[in-house]
Amino acid sequence: MSDTADDLRKNDGQQFGRLPETDADRTVEGRVSRAAVVDYFEDRFAIPPETFDDYTFWEKGAGKIWLYSGEADSPLEIEAIGMTCLRTRQEHWKPTTDFVQRFGAHASECVIDLDREAARRFAAGEDQELEWDGDWGYLIAAHTVAGEREPLGIGLYVHGELRSMVPKGRQREL
């Protein structure tokens, strides 16, 4: 089968398009596949693929991936479906804080546990120097709430520093 740019439509940023199951099913230029998204969450964070069995993945805006559990036809021109979960435009894919808060409890790798004071600074959007033995890049920051691990949001770990990626509107002084 051919997969040259000539055969592929340009992404229409005004509408939601459902992700193809695999790269071979692609009909829109540059669109990632469902398999690639689920693999990413498994490879990076060890989130079991079956976590997403009842969800569909969509793109609206180049590289902006949405996760949805309701019914819809593709393509679809409405304001929003479900939640934004991932940005695939850059070389390093970046999960959203809202996704991490909703599904991060299923992760068992690349999760950095913070004490209450570090969690407070993370929620306020501050960068902080922290020890971390694992991979650099995007990490799920978590802390303990009422005896259980609770994801706070997405952070970027580089050069001994955890940078909070919590969006401005979600930051809180706690």
Partner 1 sequence: MEPFERYRPIIDDFEAFLGACERPLGNAVRVNTIKASPERATAALEEDDVAYEQAEWNPRVLRLETDSPGSTWTSFHGFTHGQEEVSAVPPVVLDPQPGERVWDCCAAPGGKATQLAALMDDRGTVVANDNNLGRISALRFNAERLGATSLAVTNDDARNYSMKRFPFDEFDRTLVDAPCSCEGTIRKNPDALDNWSEGHIDTIAGIQKGILRRAIQTTREGGTVVYSTCTFAPEENEAVVQHAIDEEDCRVVDFDLELEHAPGLTEWRDETFDHTLEQAARIYPHHNDTGGFFVAKLEVTA
3-state secondary structure of 119: helix
Q: Verify binding: residue 81, partner 1, rule CB under 8 A.
A: yes
Closest CA to 78 of 17, 8, 24, 11: 17
Question: Quick one: tokens of 102?
Answer: 């909703």
Please measure the distance between the N-terminal and C-terminal CA atoms of the chain and give it in whole angstroms.
55
Q: Verify binding: residue 170, partner 1, rule CB under 8 A.
A: yes
We find the least distance from the C-beta atom of residue 15 to partner 1, in angstroms, to be: 11
> Which of these segments, 2-10, 22-30, 146-154, 155-163, binds partner 1 (CB under 8 A)?
146-154
Q: Verify binding: residue 123, partner 1, rule CB under 8 A.
A: yes
Q: Verify binding: residue 77, partner 1, rule CB under 8 A.
A: yes
Q: Verify binding: residue 146, partner 1, rule CB under 8 A.
A: yes
Chain centre distance of CA 146: 26
> Which of these segments, 2-10, 21-29, 63-71, 131-139, binds partner 1 (CB under 8 A)?
63-71
Of residues 160 and 167, the one with the C-beta less far from partner 1: 167
Alpha-carbon distance of 30 to 63, in angstroms, equals 8
Closest CA to 164 of 89, 112, 105: 112
Q: Verify binding: residue 115, partner 1, rule CB under 8 A.
A: no
We find the least distance from the C-beta atom of residue 164 to partner 1, in angstroms, to be: 12
> Which of these segments, 28-36, 39-47, 143-151, 157-165, binds partner 1 (CB under 8 A)?
143-151
- Say if residues 100 and 67 touch (Cβ distance below 8 Å): no
> Which of these segments, 19-27, 65-73, 87-95, 125-133, binds partner 1 (CB under 8 A)?
65-73
- Buried (b) or exposed (e) across 123-146, using 16+ Cβ within 10 A? bebeeeebeeeeeeebbbbbbeee
Q: Which residues bind partner 1 (CB under 8 A)?
A: 54-55, 67-73, 76-84, 96, 98, 101-102, 123, 145-148, 150, 152, 169-170, 172-174
